[in-house]
Amino acid sequence: MAQLLTSHRLLPTAHTMQRLSFIRRLDPGYLVVLGICLLALWPFVGRASLPQETDAELHIFRLAELAYLVQGGELYPRWAPNFYHGYGYPIFNYYAPLSYYLGLPVALLPGLDAVDGVKFVFVLGLLAAAFGSYGLVRDQWGRPAGYIAAAAYLYAPYIQYIDPIARGVLAESFSLGLFPLALWAMARLRQQQTTDRWVIASLLLAAVILSHNLMGLLLFGLVTAWVIWTGVMTWWAGDPPPTLTRHGWLLAALLVGWLLAAFFWLPVLLERNAVNLNTLIGAGDNYDFRTHFLSWRELLRATRWLDWGATEPRFAFNLGVGQWLFGGLGLFMLIRRRLRHAAQVAFFALGLAGLLFLMLPISTFIWEAVPVLPYFQFPWRLLGAAALMLAVLAGVGVAALAEQLPWPDWGQQGVVAAAVLLLITLGLPLTQPAPWPDFGPLSPLRMSLIEHSGRWLGTTSTADYVPATVDMIPERNGYVVAGFSTGEPLDRVNRLTLPEGAVVTGQERGPLYFQYQVYTPEPFPLRLFLFAFPGWTVRVDGAVVATELGRPEGFIVVPLTAGEHEVTVRFGDTPARRLAWGISGLALLLLAVGGWRLAANKAALPIHLSATLLDKGLFAAALLLTGITIFVFAPLSWLHHHSADYRAIPARHQVWADFDGQIALIGYETNRRTARPGDTLEVTLYWQAQRPQSENYQVFVHLLAPDGFLSAQSDKLNPGDFPTHRWPLDKYVLDDHTLALPLGLAPGVYTVMTGLWLAPDGGRLPVRDAAGEPVGEYFVLYELVVRE
């Protein structure tokens, strides 16, 4: 009996066997990829809060507003009522919603808030980038190639640091994580048409569109291009024409994914004229694409060490030295025809070439010819997509080289491990961003105070998405926003315009539903501090009424007759939005029908080899490198600069110029000391405040001819595009200037000088010597020799 019991205990149940079978089917490479991710994730998981003075701050307040609306019963709001001084605006009707809804469950958890929700999405996006690129490459070229691709993509500077940390652009960063996942899902659907693969591919394609307005469009287009490319290559190889059982399903997934997202993109398209979008395109300013092209020098530049002593540490818009090295190897192997699935590799090589071309000034004519491109604003935004193309080439190239080396297995695996570790090591400086303080309280009052300070309005800085009927953006009204301080609903009635004897009492039935009881002895227009916009429905005594427009602010005006009235104002869907919901509902039906048609198809179970020496060794090495970086390099400050005491370590030329005891110039850099007519002179200044500033100073850089004539200049409203009254005392400000030398500039020795001044009266800050005596109104940087 004892033996029977013992035997019975040792016999696994059917459930246990099924669970063991599932575990054995799991790719051990996933654990290795997680180890590769640790250092990239550390700035988010190893620190509390998130940085301020980046777009992350905007996303946090948007998520907080969305949480407020959802808790008030508005599950998909298109209007943010607390923004724009409480006048509201339709940011959620026009801005891609996915990243906010992914962060929403975290933000609503007890003890957590929107900061945690935004951080969660940043981490999720980085994980998606690594696992998606790994799976995409692994399925075609093997696990070692997948490891290299994951490290090359995740530790590409734009993916690892520029988007999530330096810029804090939540939606764009997350979209670049979804991009390889969507490609991987489509590749899996191409291999086998099953219900789960069909559903996952379609949903991920919809997610790409819902992730970011501009990048979603670009990335969806690249996935579409990949589908077309694979179809053409299949036909070119002599296979039967694509049918519904293969490429047809890919095209169907593209269509269904696009239609699933219609509830977002269709109202944007149909109601684009209802808001101001002109400010999204600049002319000679920061939002003009012409000012943001890259050079080959920048693209190939090595990653800089970050300086914790800078308000905005300098970084390079590059693709990474390791990525270029290994990606170039992949391109070489492709040209030599020494790669498997060469047609697939060729797509990524051509994609990289096209994206690089669009980031260079030579592509200006295309940006000017294609109407949608100027809305991207920054050509360097294409670095994210280019990084994936280069990562695929890197993974395929190094893995192919390792396979073809006449070495034993351990030697070939060592090549792959060394490549992965090199990519991580080269990315170490970007794992050390400057510490950021606690984000502070999240409240509508704080948001309102930031708007009042002029930093932004409604979480946008250029008046984009403001209703088109707003001719003049009204000032903040202390009476309207008083509710932010008291915690009471905002009073959006313009009581100064009420006739004598009129009484209006209001009640907030919901975040977007207001009710007013009105008594008036005479007819009058009830003026509300609420921007008019399609979707607002006003009822007087239960009947829908046509409203008037209060110019120039664009407020809602409700005409009322004498007597008692009940006025309700509620935001809802328009015909365009209802049509969009209908199309998305139809797409869900198509998704279900497609899944039903594929229900009989059973996916072949993946066969993954057990963990190899490469898997175990690489995982251990990644953990060791992570531990050394966190517990040794970081505490010893070996991976970053920390300028202090009015010294800018990165500055090539250290100087000291005291501008009236207010601001000091502590360094500068220039791209040339000799030039020819027509050249471009670039000067970077390093400023630091000596005391708290109450004024906003302007800056100039002048080029003076030998006779004192002003030959070229660069003037800025704010040095470093950072108002001086907000400068901290412990960090310097980088200030870039570009001067175009006239074509007719005569040869000679010219003087490059700089200074600070105040626009209201034109007065310049004097430069003082060590004794505090004024010695001039400008500081001479250096002499420029102009040759014929």
pLDDT-above-90 percentage for the chain = 83
For residue 432, give the DSSP letter. Answer: -
Token pair of 772 as six digits: 């505090």
Tens of pLDDT, residue by residue over 465-492, are 999 999 999 999 999 999 999 989 999 9
pLDDT at 11: 37
What pLDDT is stored for residue 272 in this prediction? 93
CA dihedral 217, 218, 219, 220 (to 10 degrees): 50
Q: Over 90: is that where the pLDDT of 622 sits?
A: yes
- What's the order of all strands across the beta sheet hosting 663-670? 733-740, 680-689, 663-670, 653-659, 767-768, 774-776
Predicted confidence (pLDDT) per residue in 671-705, tens digit: 999 999 999 999 999 999 999 999 999 999 999 99
pLDDT digits (tens, 9 = 90+) for 261-310: 999 999 999 999 999 887 777 676 778 899 899 999 999 999 999 999 99
Tokens of 629: 């970086």
CA distance 100 to 170: 9
- CA–CA distance, 788 with 786 (Å, rounded to integer): 7
Best CA proximity match to 660, nearest among 782, 757, 542: 757
**What are 378-387's pLDDT values in tens digits?**
999 999 999 9
Tokens (6 digits) for 568: 């309700």
Q: What is the mean pLDDT of residues 187-209?
A: 96
Going by C-alpha positions, the residue among 637, 41, 39 that lies closest to residue 309 is: 637
Please return the burial class of 234, using the count of CB atoms within 10 Å of its CB with bins 0-12, 13-18 and 19+.
Answer: middle
Kindly tell me the burial class for residue 776, based on how many C-beta atoms sit within 10 Å of its own C-beta (0-12, 13-18, 19 or more): middle
pLDDT higher than threshold 70 for residue 139:
yes
* Averaged confidence pLDDT in the chain: 92
CA distances in angstroms from 104 to 60, 111, 527, listed in the order given: 11, 14, 34
Give the model's pLDDT for residue 19.
52
- DSSP per-residue codes, 666-719: EEEEES-SEE-TT-EEEEEEEEEESS---S--EEEEEEE-TTS-EEEEEEESSG
The β-bridge relationship of strands 674-675 and 779-786 is: parallel
- Token pair 């007719």 is found at 744
Mean pLDDT of 18-22: 50
pLDDT at position 609: 66
